[in-house]
Amino acid sequence: NWEPLHGDVEFRDVSFHYPDGEEMIFEHFNLKVPQGTNVAIVGETGAGKSTLVNLLCRFFEPTEGQILIDGRDVRERSQLWLHRNLGYVIQTPHLFSGSIAENLRYAKQDATREEMQAAMKAVAADSIPERMEHGYDSEVGEGGDLLSTGEKQLISFARAVLADPRIFVLDEATSSIDTVTEKKIQDATELLLHGRTSFIIAHRLSTIRQADVILMVEGGKVIEKGTHEQL
């Protein structure tokens, strides 16, 4: 289960509705993403963008169909394997109860303090442990609830930088992050996109322009697929 990951992703005939929802969000969705492809996902609020990437991260399972990484169903992989090979920053970030350091080490068990600091700095998150009483050993609380949503997102981002994953998923925050931090995150994102398979729910045109493929999602359907020039 620990063989190195290449980074091919495939949605194969995926249909999905939330456990408590009756309406199908996706129906028979097919998409092949070869290793190294940068995919941007755009669409209006409620269109199903987060749902698509949350399925890939295995927060939910497809009602029908399969999601494959390197040709293997993600359901065959452990959560820990996913965490170390697929870096993600989602809209509703979730940390584990424990310290900041423990949360970061989840992505890379043997990470040194210096590596953690560098990762946190890269995403402008280094001020978070600095203002807490016990620095990196400060507890984040149940689900990370002692921190704000923006702070949780930044720590998730640092965790993804540290994991150095083959696949990177980013559900960009539209709010809760100031412009200075946003600029740092943009730089870190560009770094993470290079040479990796990525799925970015993008709001900035610059991110969208750089994508190899743009998925336009509407009402739970991928209505268009193409590059920036084609759309």
168 near 192, Cβ under 8 Å? Answer: yes
Q: Which of 42, 43, 60, 63 is nearest to 51 (CA)?
A: 60
Using the contact rule CB under 6 A, the part of the chain among 16-24, 142-150, 181-189, 222-230 near ligand ATP is 16-24
Span from 20-28, 89-97, 173-181, 192-200 in contact with Mg ion (CB under 5 A): 89-97
Nearest to ligand ATP of 8, 171 (CB atom)? 171
Please choose, out of 45-53, 99-107, 162-170, 182-190, the segment that lies near ligand ATP by the rule CB under 6 A: 45-53
- Closest separation between CB of residue 16 and ligand ATP, Å? 9
What is the spatial distance between Cα 231 and Cα 228, in angstroms, rounded to a whole number? 5
Three-state secondary structure readout of 28-60: EEEEEECCCCEEEEECCCCCCHHHHHHHHCCCC
Question: Tokens for 53?
Answer: 């990437």
> DSSP string covering 103-125, please?
HHHTT-TT--HHHHHHHHHHTT-
Give which of 35, 9, 119 is closest to 128, Cα–Cα: 119
* 7 versus 62: smaller Cβ distance to Mg ion: 62
User: According to the binding rule CB under 5 A, does residue 63 interact with Mg ion?
Assistant: no
Q: Rounded distance, CA 70 to CA 62, Å?
A: 18
Q: CB under 5 to 8 A by kind: which of Mg ion, ligand ATP, none does 71 bind?
A: none
Q: Among Mg ion, ligand ATP, none, what does residue 96 contact (CB within 5–8 Å per kind)?
A: none
**Rounded CA separation 65/10 (Å):** 11
Q: Compare residues 50 and 210 and give the one whose CB is closer to Mg ion.
A: 50
Taking CB under 6 A as the criterion, which residues in 51-110 touch ligand ATP? 51, 91
Q: Are 95 and 103 in contact (CB under 8 A)?
A: yes
Task: Check residue 22 for interaction with ligand ATP (CB under 6 A).
Answer: no
- 50 belongs to the binding site for Mg ion (CB under 5 A): yes
C-beta of 24 vs 132, nearer to ligand ATP: 24
The span of 46-54, 60-68, 147-155, 203-211 binding Mg ion (CB under 5 A) equals: 46-54
Residue ranges in contact with Mg ion by CB under 5 A? 50, 91
